[in-house]
Structures are given as C-alpha cells and as structure tokens.
Chains A and B, each alone.
Chain A
C-alpha cells in the first residue's frame, strides 16, 4: 500500500527535526525573559559556570600567592640579613657612643684636675668569688707603683696591689683586705675603709665619741698622698655602737659600683689636690651622689635618731 515505498514515520521525524529550529526562529518571544523551559538549564549553567569561575580564580589566586610567597621569602631573607647587619651596626655604634661618652667624661675630669692621672682599662676580674680585685692594662712600664690610688670620675675604686710590666692587680675597696684612710666629710672624724662584702664597705676604727650618722659622706683623707684629699669614697648607711668598747663601726655604700668598672684612672701623683671644696659642685661631682643619692640638706646633717642602733639600716 505504500505508494512511494518509503517509511512515513522516518520522514515525519526528519520534518519535525528540520521544522524545530525554524519554528524556534519564527516563534515570537519575550526578549527580556527566557522561556519557562529554559530556566532550569540557565540556572544550572549559571551555577556550574559560577563554580568553575570560583575554582579557577581560587587556583589562580593560590598559584599567584605561592609565586608571591617565593618572592616574599627571598625578600624576607634579604630583609632579615639587612636587619641583622643594621642591628649589629647599631649595637657597635651605641657601644662606641657610650664609650665616647665615658672617655669624654674621663678626659674632662683629667683636664679639670692638676693630678697626674693615667687612664687604664679593666681587663680581668678576680679568680675567687669572695675577693674583689681587678687587673688593669697598665704596669711598671707606664710608671705604676704599689699602693697608688685608683679612681674613676665618680669616686675611689681601690689601689694598686701587685705590679707587672704591662699590667697590674688592683684591690677594689670592697675587698676584705682593702684599707683606705678616710674622713667623715661633715665632722672630719677619721677611720679606715675596708670591704665587707662585694657591694658594701665598713668604716672601722672610728672613735666612740665621733659624730657620725647615716647619710654622711666618706671621703679620702689624702694623708698618705696616694689619693687626693676629699675625694668621695661612699655614703654611710648605718652606724653601730655597742654598749661597751672604745670604737664604733659604720657601713657604707661605695659611690663606685665595682661591678660596672671598665675604665679607671691611676693616680700617679695626687699633686696635693683637695676636692673638699669642689665635691658636690655643678661642674664636678659624682653622678651617683648628685642624682641617684642626693646629699641630705645641710650637706649631710646628722640624724641623731638613727644613731646608736646596732645593725640598723641594712
């Protein structure tokens, strides 16, 4: 019965297939909105494309960050190195500045006095923990002799004890075996300063009737000629007078901190210089006393209520 002997069903399918795009082209549609049957696809596409976009931007970002990190790491290493170099330079410059300040202070002091002084550097400390001595880089070749006084701008350090050709051992006044003739600045009472422990000293052989009180300044007597007269040694912190006996004993805090010694002066010739009138003035005076421990009013007036109390003050 099939007149043309072909499959009508196939032909119909072909027609539909061809007609569909034509129908789609010629269909009137709303330009602002997708038809309803396209919406799920659009949404899906949007979702997938968004996902891809996020993924690629993430990958791109991570890659970029990684590449940047390599650069940052290199830059960081370079900056760290530069920082270390600058820190080292800064440390060296600070050290130089401090040294310069110290040396300027020493030079000013040396210029302002008629004493014959020799600057020396501390090169070693005592072998024993319970003795206070230092070694300086000046010896007999530089004119050093036993018992010559050793001072800093602040006050007395000690005296030369053993001399070698190029170095000398100095007993610091905080050593138990040290002995320096001293005066109480206010009352001129005389005693002997020696070490008690590594930070404090004691003033011995004061007469019982001597007027001494905590806060009094102790200065060198200048009698032996090894130290100038009136040069600061320390400040009394306590006075001990027992119920019997002929003397009294006092403790003092040295104006020089033996733990901070770097440069010192050896008094080659004290020139009979008297610091009694200069001590405490504005142009010269131990910073420790003038700033940290200012003298009591009236140049260290006695505080009688503190006297005669054994073991007081420390």
Chain B
C-alpha cells in the first residue's frame, strides 16, 4: 500500500514538474524572447522517467504528461499521447543499445528527444490528423533540439530529489553523476 502511495506521489510530482516547466517554456520564455524557439523544458522530465522506470510506468507518465501539456497547445491530446509514448519507447530502446554513465548521455538523449518529438509529431499528423503538417519549421526544430540539452543538466538534480523523497531510487546511477 505504501509502495503504491509513493509511486502515485512520485508520478504526481513529476507531472507537476512537467506542468511547471511547460508553463515556463510557453509563458516565461515567450515574455523574454517572444516567438523565438526555446528549449522544450518538459522533455528532460519525460526522459528522466523513461530512463529510470519500467516501460509501463514510463508509458503511464507519458500519458499523464500529454494530459497536462495538452492545455498549452493546439495539438490534439491523442496525438500528443502517441508522440510521448513513441518518445518513451525510443528512449528505452536507445538506452538498451547505447548507454554510458555521464551527464553528456543525458544531454544527448534530451537533444535527440526534442528533435524526435517534432519528427514523430510530423509523422503522426500525416497518419492521424485531418490537417497534416506540410510545411514543417525544421530550423525551429533544430534550435529547440540544440537548446534543450543546455537546459537539462540543472533540472536533473531536481528529478533525483523527487525520486529520493518518494523512495524511488533510480535503477541506474546516471543522474548521480550530475548531482
């Protein structure tokens, strides 16, 4: 019972973190830099969970994340869910193939995930949407993919702290390297 409560608390805190980071990205960055593409601050949150949780837990979090983030975008919630799920699975697959304990690994994963998010969304609109994305803003994607890894390292200690207070120690020692 206690284990389930801790898991629920952990996922709730991560969902809250995604909400705060998403708001930061859409409101604060916008107030300072206008419409210039910024880092996808919520992606490190998803990547952390994908790297250190089971596929089922990560999938649940991907859906929770989509549920929260859909309030900040005109993207349909279903597409956001599928894209997040694809991102989680890709991250876990990538971890099985390539993995090394370093902060550079986390930054690389976040950068790739930020770019993949847009690719998956682009593909999803062709399959699932009535309004396919015919003119993708590839330069904006690249800028976002370059900025996201820079924003990631300061966030991981926060995620480790959330894991620590909810008794969900990372399965690997990836984040300890940073904190």
Contacts and interface: CB of A to CB of B under 8 A. Distances in A.
Interface of A: 123-133, 135, 161-162, 169, 171, 175-177, 194, 196-198, 258-259
B27 A176 contact: no
Contacts of B111: none
A175 B72 contact: no
A170 B135 CA distance: 21
B35 A131 contact: no
Given A197-B135, A259-B35, A130 B26 contact: no
A125 B22 contact: no
B105 interface: no
Given A124-B30, A169-B71, 18 more contacts: A123-B31, A124-B72, A126-B26, A126-B73, A127-B22, A128-B74, A128-B75, A128-B121, A129-B37, A129-B137, A129-B144, A130-B125, A130-B136, A130-B137, A135-B72, A171-B74, A175-B74, A259-B35
B118 A124 contact: no
B131 A127 contact: no
B171 to A, nearest CB: 29
B74 A132 contact: yes
Nearest to B130: A177
Interface in B3-35: 22-23, 25-27, 30-31, 34-35
Contacts of A126: 26, 72-75
A94 B30 CA distance: 20
A136 to B, nearest CB: 12
Chain B CB within 10 Å, residue with most, of A126, A130, A132, A169: A130
B72 A127 contact: yes
A133 B74 contact: yes
A194 B131 contact: yes
Contact of A198 (B30, B125, B137, B141): B137
Contacts of A259: 34-35
Given A124-B30, A177-B131, A129 B72 contact: no
Interface in B50-101: 69, 71-76
16 contacts: A126-B75, A127-B73, A128-B73, A128-B75, A129-B141, A130-B75, A130-B118, A130-B121, A131-B74, A132-B74, A135-B27, A135-B72, A169-B71, A177-B76, A177-B131, A259-B35
Nearest to B76: A177
A259 B37 CA distance: 11
A176 B129 CA distance: 10
B150 interface: no
Contacts of B122: 130
Question: What 9 A-B pairs are tightest by C-beta distance, nearest first?
Answer: A197-B135, A176-B131, A133-B74, A124-B27, A127-B73, A131-B74, A127-B72, A124-B26, A259-B35
Interface of B: 22-23, 25-27, 30-31, 34-35, 37, 42, 69, 71-76, 118, 121-122, 125, 129-137, 140-141, 144
A162 B137 CA distance: 25
Contacts, number: 75
Chain B CB within 10 Å, residue with most, of A123, A169, A176, A259: A176
A127 B75 contact: yes
Contact of B74 (A124, A161, A194, A197): A161
Contacts of A135: 26-27, 72
A130 B122 CA distance: 9
A133 B137 CA distance: 15
B23 A131 contact: no
A265 to B, nearest CB: 20
Contacts of A194: 131
Contacts of B25: 127
A131 B131 CA distance: 11
Contacts of A128: 73-75, 121
A172 to B, nearest CB: 8
Contacts of B26: 124-127, 135
A23 B27 CA distance: 105
Given A126-B26, A130-B122, A131-B75, A196 B134 contact: yes
Contacts of B35: 125, 258-259
